[in-house]
């Protein structure tokens, strides 16, 4: 029963994101609205972390399964993708390396800042 309650809380925030997407004329996906609302709820202690933690952990663990339909969709669109395949591979590789490098630098900065030192 605990998991059903936690899942209901998460779905409620997702639904609120859908409502905001329908009401606001901004080009923002409903999932982003829902995530921001959930973040605000957790940060402002409107909902305690323990009230969604177990189900959220489960959802993160099964998240890779959610990419299977997208991969199948790519194989179905191969005739449209094949002319630009190498461009997509290059852009994906470069952006992945950039995200990893920037994330690493930011993480190093935060760790150093938390320790109180500015060592390199």
Say what the pTM is: 0.63
Contact present, 19 and 34 (Cβ < 8 Å): no
**DSSP structural state of residue 59:** H
Region 50-67 average pLDDT: 94
Burial 55-89 (b: 16+ CB within 10 A, else e): bbeeeeeeeeeeeeeeeeeeeeeeeeeeeeeeeee
Contact present, 13 and 37 (Cβ < 8 Å): yes
Contact present, 21 and 33 (Cβ < 8 Å): yes
Share of the chain above pLDDT 70, in %: 97
Q: Give the pLDDT of residue 70.
A: 87
The phi and psi torsions of 29 (rounded to 5 degrees) equal -65, 150
């Amino acid at each position: 029963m605990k998991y059903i309650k936690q899942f209901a809380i998460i779905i409620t925030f997702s639904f609120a994101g859908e409502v905001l997407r329908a009401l606001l004329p901004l080009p923002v996906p409903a999932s982003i609205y829902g995530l921001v609302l959930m973040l605000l709820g957790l940060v402002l202690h409107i909902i305690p972390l323990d009230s969604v933690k177990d189900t959220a952990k489960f959802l993160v663990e099964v998240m890779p399964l959610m990419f299977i339909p997208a991969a199948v969709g790519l194989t179905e669109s191969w005739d449209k993708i094949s002319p630009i395949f190498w461009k997509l591979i290059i852009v994906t590789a470069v952006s992945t390396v950039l995200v990893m490098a920037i994330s690493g630098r930011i993480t190093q900065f935060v760790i150093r800042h938390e320790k109180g030192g500015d060592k390199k």
